Amino acid sequence: MTTLIRAARLADGLSTSSKANQAVLVTEDRIQAVGSAEEITQNAPPGTETVDLGDATLTPGLIDGHTHLSLAGDGRDYAQMFSETDEMMVLTGARNLQLHLAAGITTLREHGARNKVGFILKEGIARSYIAGPRMQVSGRPITCSGGHFHMCNEEADGPNEIRRSVRRLVHEGADYLKIMASGGGTSNTIPGRASYSVDELHAAVHEAHHFHKLTAAHCRAKESMQRAVEAGIDLIEHAEFLDPDNEMRFDPDLADKMAECGTWISPTLQAWTKYGRIVELQGQRTTGFLNKKEQAELQALESRAETRLEVMRRMLDHCKMERIVPGTDSGVGSLAFGHLDYDLRLLVQVGFTPGEALLSATSISAAALGLEQEIGTIEVGKIADLAAFKGDPTEDVLALSEVVAVFQSGVRVL
């Protein structure tokens, strides 16, 4: 089956601006041609179905590098969310996949779930039992005894146990390996403290690369970021520069080291800043319904967010935009699915243009996930994962919150 998709504008994931009067020809699940609407229309084979999206911008489907599908993002803490059964976590994941897909996200990384939940969700999509973005699964995050996310049941201490964990996860179907290099929101762990030595992290990297798998490390502590870079971790999550007292203090030497090593960095800005709540309160302020208590809450949230954004701005004086990968951390706390747009708004707040923010969520993320041959741009031969947004997201980042259409593997799903 061949479909011709046209919209007022097209942003291909390669350029930071959009072009007018373009069209994409899709045959089965691949992009067969892209170019001027007149030319594509003239050369389309007989029987081609045309989809005209009107005043919208066609983009590559968005990529979220950091999600927790099994968690509901409904404000409960880890202990409450992990009291659910695996079966309920699978159902939660099925719901979350749909929320992300409807937001124009056609690929995501599942960053750690309990037992087999992550693998089962991926299998459910492969069998077309449930709809959702294409998934890279880590299975279970590797963590030290009692460490962050130990509830997922992949505890490993020392290089040998870590190697064994990597082998076990790869055998079960992990697409990449996630390792918890510092504490986090799990009780009795310390976000500002590293949880693995360089040797331990290196064992994970070495074993993962042996299987041609990439690695991502949860690093909130400055010390964990240093060790992760030294161990050759491919992607650092959070990068919050926390000291052991859990205070954020930027370190230019560490930022230089990350830049030098070409480490991918996913700053999960939405997670730290509780941006969803900020948007909600700011919306209320615009319409005039903000009581004293809410006013104070908004002020506190905005000032806390500013501390994080300022560290990010300073990091960007050292690290290239081309190595920054947006990620929502959806599922955790009150981070609801369906809002990669929030992370992209925050990237604009730290100095990205809207067009650069769009690249970060498409071609740059595809490269960070090792999927750049298949997705991330609108080019001939790529998988036809596409999204369309009202207006022009390369001019106004808010446009990314208004989804008009979503295509996955050439099939319109919204």
Q: How far apart are CA 269 and CA 246, in angstroms?
A: 17
Instruction: Provide CB contacts within 8 A for 110, sequence distance 6+.
Output: 67, 68, 69, 93, 118, 121, 122, 135, 136, 137, 138
How far from 98 is each of 106, 126, 250, 337, CA to CA, in Å? 10, 15, 37, 9
Instruction: Provide CB contacts within 8 A for 380, sequence distance 6+.
Output: 31, 32, 33, 34
Query: Which residues form the interface with Zn ion (CB under 5 A)?
Result: 111, 329
Nearest distance from C-beta of residue 267 to Zn ion, angstroms = 12
Q: Which is nearer to Zn ion, 207 or 329 (CB)?
A: 329
Q: Which is nearer to Zn ion, 111 or 193 (CB)?
A: 111
Q: Which is nearer to Zn ion, 3 or 270 (CB)?
A: 270
Tokens 């460490």 locate to 147
Helix (H, G, I), strand (E, B) or coil at 287: helix
Nearest distance from C-beta of residue 29 to Zn ion, angstroms = 30
Q: Which is nearer to Zn ion, 203 or 335 (CB)?
A: 335
Other Cβ atoms within 10 Å of 310 Cβ, number: 13
8 A C-beta contact, residue 309 and residue 350: yes
Nearest distance from C-beta of residue 119 to Zn ion, angstroms = 18
Q: Which is nearer to Zn ion, 64 or 341 (CB)?
A: 64
Nearest distance from C-beta of residue 270 to Zn ion, angstroms = 11
Q: How far apart are CA 284 and CA 11, in angstroms?
A: 33
Nearest distance from C-beta of residue 208 to Zn ion, angstroms = 18
Q: Where are the beta strands (DSSP E) in 38-92?
A: 49-52, 56-60, 62-67
Burial (Cβ within 10 Å: 0-12, 13-18, ≥19) of residue 410: buried
Helix (H, G, I), strand (E, B) or coil at 408: strand
Nearest distance from C-beta of residue 64 to Zn ion, angstroms = 11
Q: Which is nearer to Zn ion, 213 or 218 (CB)?
A: 218
Q: Which is nearer to Zn ion, 158 or 185 (CB)?
A: 185
Nearest distance from C-beta of residue 217 to Zn ion, angstroms = 11
Q: Which is nearer to Zn ion, 149 or 407 (CB)?
A: 149
Q: How far apart are CA 44 and CA 25, in angstroms?
A: 7
Structure tokens at 269: 């800005």
Nearest distance from C-beta of residue 371 to Zn ion, angstroms = 20
84: part of which helix (H) or strand (E)?
A: none
